[in-house]
């Protein structure tokens, strides 16, 4: 049966073009130019995947993502964005988007991504296929991480992996799993940031038929799915406070209850968690339970960001080029000297995920043997230009600092205004700002905003 795809893009030409292309590629594709209509279509119809433009009038991509995720948590969503918005795209992934592509969208790239999102993950991967797709790099910092992986893998210790978004936390979790005695049992990855609060207990622990409205059948939760194997809780800092208690019990007593059922079920599962946030700081800010933090922090692994991994950047670039050549039937041989320089100068806030996306695009656009600067996104090329200019005009640096400060001041003002508008009700203010409460608490603390009526 044809897979159903919904395209949401207010650029009518691009939307129609993409829908047409997908239909030619045997997808059952529909399009809409409005985010609101898109949400309604998802509510009323079955779709296998949604492609959503980030900049939409009225409702933006972030709102559409959050609304769809709250209604259909498992529906994969790919965000289409201009490159300058890549930091936002990274945030969207943290909020549950499957991935992002930069505009103008390359047809082959989007098809590859759709297929990746739709393929059933767990059934296909084995320790052999994982190893084929895993490289480590030679930087001192990653070698230390790999040494820790080797030491901790055979134990049943709970591991906490900290690192920036896209730095490879899930890959390290899998490396631990596949090097452990549990390697032939399931590895189940759960994005805690993408589970709606009211569904978290049922998703993690399962439920029985009739436990709540909408519970029409018994459901097995992630803990039971991972029986004998490893449960990877990504973005664990986003787990609602009330669910943290139940998770703590599961870890301490190694038992769970399904929602609506008193029966105690024993679970033999190794837990690995990951977070982009510093969980220790979240504990200090009372946003994460201290007892749970200590339970999770059996063994901590800190992943370095890509910009601090020296020559690993080029090793990963070559690896991603090989993958892209196979996927797009191309024969790009490498990166030219000038482009390589740009790779080293760029800060890669989206880390390996961003590098892979940049390479995919560059391979697709390359007509030459080597990747040259002109097939790289503006952000990477201009980054170097800006640096050059700064070297000559030190005053520019001051302006940059001022601009940064201005952004922070504006952010503080926007938050303060929202708090006033919400009469200092933080949940309401968070809604107005379209951020979660924890982020708001952190910002209030960061800017030292006083909460006095």
Residues at the interface with ligand ATP (CB under 6 A): 93, 133-135, 163, 165-171, 234, 274, 276, 352-353, 356
Give me the least distance between CB of 276 and ligand ATP, in Å please: 5
Which CB sits closer to ligand ATP, 206 or 229?
A: 229
Which CB sits closer to ligand ATP, 133 or 252?
A: 133
| H or E segment to which residue 230 belongs | strand 230-234
Give me the least distance between CB of 161 and ligand ATP, in Å please: 8
Which CB sits closer to ligand ATP, 281 or 404?
A: 281
Give me the least distance between CB of 69 and ligand ATP, in Å please: 15
SS3 label, residue 180: coil
Which residues are within 8 A (CB) of 62 and not within 5 positions of it... i.e. 6 or more apart?
Answer: 54, 88, 91, 92, 95, 434
Give me the least distance between CB of 234 and ligand ATP, in Å please: 5
Which CB sits closer to ligand ATP, 49 or 93?
A: 93
Both tokens assigned to 311:
């020559």
Bridge partners of 32, per DSSP, are: 8
Which CB sits closer to ligand ATP, 33 or 320?
A: 320
SS3 label, residue 344: helix
Give me the least distance between CB of 372 and ligand ATP, in Å please: 23
Which CB sits closer to ligand ATP, 18 or 200?
A: 200
Quote the CA–CA distance of 137 and 255 in Å, as a whole number: 39
Closest CA to 272 of 227, 229, 225: 229
Give me the least distance between CB of 438 and ligand ATP, in Å please: 16
Quote the CA–CA distance of 125 and 187 in Å, as a whole number: 9
Quick one: CA dihedral 432, 433, 438, 440, positive or negative? negative
Which CB sits closer to ligand ATP, 32 or 95?
A: 95
Quote the CA–CA distance of 132 and 5 in Å, as a whole number: 30
Closest CA to 369 of 327, 407, 330, 314: 330
Please spell the DSSP secondary structure of 28-46, one letter per residue. Answer: EEEEES-HHHHHHHHHHS-
Whether the Cβ atoms of residue 137 and residue 315 lie closer than 8 Å to each other: yes
Give me the least distance between CB of 166 and ligand ATP, in Å please: 5
Question: CB nearest ligand ATP: which residue?
Answer: 168
Which CB sits closer to ligand ATP, 59 or 273?
A: 273
Whether the Cβ atoms of residue 22 and residue 33 lie closer than 8 Å to each other: no
SS3 label, residue 251: helix
């Amino acid at each position: 049966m044809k897979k159903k795809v919904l395209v949401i893009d207010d650029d009518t030409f691009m939307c129609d073009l993409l829908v047409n292309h997908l239909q030619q590629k045997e997808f059952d594709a529909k399009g809409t130019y409005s985010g609101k209509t898109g949400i309604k279509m998802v509510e009323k119809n079955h779709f296998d995947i949604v492609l959503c433009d980030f900049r939409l009038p009225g409702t933006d991509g972030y709102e559409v993502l959050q609304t769809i995720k709250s209604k259909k948590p498992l529906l994969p969503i790919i965000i289409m964005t201009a490159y300058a918005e890549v930091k936002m795209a990274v945030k969207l992934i943290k909020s549950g988007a499957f991935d992002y592509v930069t505009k103008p969208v390359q047809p082959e790239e989007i098809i590859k991504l759709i297929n990746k999102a739709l393929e059933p993950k767990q059934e296909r991967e084995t320790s052999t296929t994982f190893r084929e797709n895993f490289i480590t790099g030679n930087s001192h910092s990653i070698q230390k991480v790999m040494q820790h992986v080797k030491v901790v893998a055979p134990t049943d210790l709970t591991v906490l992996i900290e690192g920036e978004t896209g730095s490879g936390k899930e890959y390290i979790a899998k490396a631990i799993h596949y090097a452990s005695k549990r390697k032939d049992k399931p590895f189940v990855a759960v994005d805690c940031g993408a589970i709606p609060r009211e569904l978290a207990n049922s998703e993690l622990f399962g439920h029985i038929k009739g436990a709540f409205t909408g519970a029409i059948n018994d459901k097995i939760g992630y803990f039971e799915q991972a029986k004998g194997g490893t449960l990877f809780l990504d973005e664990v800092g986003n787990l609602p406070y009330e669910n943290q208690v139940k998770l703590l019990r599961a870890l301490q007593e190694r038992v769970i209850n399904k929602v609506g059922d008193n029966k105690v079920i024993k679970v033999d599962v190794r837990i690995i968690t990951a977070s982009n946030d510093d969980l220790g700081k979240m504990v200090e800010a009372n946003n994460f339970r201290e007892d749970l933090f200590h339970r999770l922090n059996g063994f901590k692994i800190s992943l370095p960001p890509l910009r601090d991994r020296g020559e690993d950047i080029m090793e990963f670039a070559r690896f991603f080029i090989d993958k892209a050549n196979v996927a797009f039937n191309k024969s790009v041989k490498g990166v030219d000297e000038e482009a390589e320089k740009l790779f080293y100068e760029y800060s890669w806030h989206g880390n390996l995920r961003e590098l892979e996306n940049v390479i995919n695009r560059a391979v697709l656009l390359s007509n030459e043997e080597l990747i040259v600067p002109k097939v790289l996104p503006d952000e990477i090329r201009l980054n170097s230009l800006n640096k050059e200019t700064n070297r000559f005009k030190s005053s520019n640096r001051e302006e940059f600092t001022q601009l940064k400060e201005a952004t922070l001041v504006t952010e503080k003002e926007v938050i303060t205004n929202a708090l006033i508008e919400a009469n200092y009700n933080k949940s309401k203010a968070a809604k107005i700002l379209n951020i979660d409460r924890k982020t708001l608490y952190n910002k209030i603390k960061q800017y030292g905003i006083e909460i006095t009526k």
